[in-house]
Structure 1
Amino acid sequence: MWKVMAADDEIYIQEALKNLISWEKMGCVLHSISSNGKELLEKMETEHPDIVITDIRMPLVDGIQVCKYISENSPETQVIILSAYSEFEYARAALRYNACEYVLKLSVLEELPQAVEKAILNLKRYYEEIEEGEKSEEGRNEIENLYEKMQRYISRNYCRKITLDEIAEELHANRSYLSRLYKSKKGVNLFDDILRLRIEKAKEYMETSDKKVYEISQAVGFEDTGYFSRVFKKYTGMSPKEYKNEKKETSDK
């Protein structure tokens, strides 16, 4: 099932997305609906959707900023823009960040399913490109070589901020292709895997050192300790402090 996440600050659109769109028939699951772009981006820190549906005008973080974030961090993710008639020029700006389609709110029930189908076709085409490359021995070797280089680069640099553009420049490859290749090979989004690695390294620090939580956070590449704590709990089911205390109690026995 394709994972869909949405953001819109208008209640009637939220209700339409929840109750009036046949997601399952399209092979999708509506994972969440946020009321603004900031909330959506916070969710995307630990959940990486295949398709994002976003209003163009929202408080705190608007649809343009959402598109920019996705373009920089997960270019294979398909973005569908929701727009009012008067906002067409604004919506067109979002298309520069590779949004796959825009849908007028007045006809969301008719146009959105078509836009989702287009997004799904794009996703299938992207991953078929990887599969096609693996049909020849030369293609398989090239893909495996790129994948191994990405893994080595991540293992050396996970403790600082890494961008997809940086990895693409280092490996002399297309950023979008690298993102799709990694997900195809590993089964998870590139930045999901970086987060997982950072949390594993953080757990090692907690088990083998007396570093404070903020020191561990910085050591594994998190600039914001609060964000580190949220991600840590997402992956382990407990806060960093709870994890440290549990490990200390275990070692004291």
Structure 2
Amino acid sequence: MYKILLVDDEKEIRYGLKNYFPWNQLGFEVIEECENGKEALKYLRDHSVDVVLTDIRMPVMDGIELAKQIQQMKQSIQVIFLSGYKDFYYAKEAIKCGVLDYIVKPGKFEEIQAVFTSLKEKMDTTVKEHDILIDSQSGQKNYTENIIHTIKTYTQKNYADITLEDLASILKMSPNYISTYFKEKTGYNFSTYLTEVRMKKAATLLTDYHYKTYEISSLVGYNNPKNFTRMFKKYHGMTPREYRNRNTLEVADLNEQ
């Protein structure tokens, strides 16, 4: 079972989520609940958890500051926001803080189930990859796999504003060496991999009609929407608008069947 720390200043919300949602069926359990970010951080200093499910607006310390503090801890803790605020600002701040997903209150059963089912698949894959690294032969092969895995994992979590300098700080290598090393071991440039991660995330965000195209552009790391549109079309073979319209038609066709 993966362990969840639930953080929300509303006692009724905490009680309902902890006791009425079938976490164990999805492979999770709520092991502790806190009423604000400061209380949650205190708990995290002495206990290990896999997921923090937190409200955004709370007294003492809000969810955004909590997510920033968790990111600085450099631990593999997945953070998911639960909030009644659909404002673009919060979604943008969430991605900057490495937040995995964002559930709007009141969280529908199907939405929570979908988010945590996807999360479990991701975490199971990470565990398997880690086990493969541990069990593989020692030496250069293990070292190489570890480095590439670290680069890809960090990129997938911080794609919006990642730089080679960030990776250099983590891996204790120069930015130029990381770029050359990645190309040598994978066969493609780091910039190509980063673009792939961003374009896949952009495609996912386009299925959520709360976001405008220019907002998605910013969320995946493009300050210029025109550059984003050009890159999206190059990668997916169509513009973001065309992609969204096609997805709408596909959903409509499914509903008619």
Q: TM-score, normalised by structure 2?
A: 0.53
**Distance in 1 (alpha carbons) for counterparts of 2:99 and 2:26:** 20
Q: What's the counterpart of residue 31 of structure 2?
A: 31
Which letter does structure 2 place at the counterpart of 1:125? T
Q: What's the counterpart of residue 139 of structure 1?
A: 141
Q: What's the counterpart of residue 210 of structure 1?
A: none
Higher relative contact order (CA 8 A, sep 6+): 1
Which letter does structure 1 place at the counterpart of 2:141? G
Which letter does structure 2 place at the counterpart of 1:49? V
Deviations 1:33-62 (Å, cap 9, x if unpaired)? 111111011000011210110001111111
The structural deviation recorded for 1:86 is: 4.2
Deviations 1:203-238 (Å, cap 9, x if unpaired)? xxxxxxxxxxxxxxxxxxxxxxxxxxxxxxxxxxxx
The structural deviation recorded for 1:70 is: 1.6
Q: What's the counterpart of residue 55 of structure 2?
A: 55
- What secondary structure does 2:46 align onto? coil
Give the 3 Å change call, closer, same or farther, for CA 172–70 of structure 1 in structure 2.
Answer: farther
Give the 3 Å change call, closer, same or farther, for CA 55–88 of structure 1 in structure 2.
Answer: farther
**Distance in 2 (alpha carbons) for counterparts of 1:126 and 1:67:** 21
The structural deviation recorded for 1:7 is: 0.3
1:130 aligns with 2:136: no
Q: What's the counterpart of residue 111 of structure 1?
A: 111
**Distance in 2 (alpha carbons) for counterparts of 1:144 and 1:14:** 38
Give the 3 Å change call, closer, same or farther, for CA 94–141 of structure 1 in structure 2.
Answer: closer
**Distance in 2 (alpha carbons) for counterparts of 1:80 and 1:22:** 17
Q: What's the counterpart of residue 78 of structure 1?
A: 78
**Distance in 2 (alpha carbons) for counterparts of 1:85 and 1:36:** 17
Counterpart contact for 2:168–2:174, Cα < 8 Å:
no
Equivalent residue runs for 1:6-21 within 5 Å:
6-21=6-21
Counterpart contact for 2:55–2:63, Cα < 8 Å:
yes
Number of residue-to-residue matches in the alignment: 156
Equivalent residue runs for 1:153-164 within 5 Å:
none
- What secondary structure does 2:5 align onto? strand
Which letter does structure 2 place at the counterpart of 1:139? K
Which stretches in structure 2 are left out of the alignment for 5+ residues?
A: 148-165, 179-257
Root-mean-square deviation (CA, aligned residues, Å) is: 3.0
Q: TM-score, normalised by structure 1?
A: 0.53
Give the 3 Å change call, closer, same or farther, for CA 128–8 of structure 1 in structure 2.
Answer: same
Equivalent residue runs for 1:128-207 within 5 Å:
128-133=128-133, 134-137=135-138, 138-140=140-142, 168-170=170-172
The structural deviation recorded for 1:167 is: 7.7
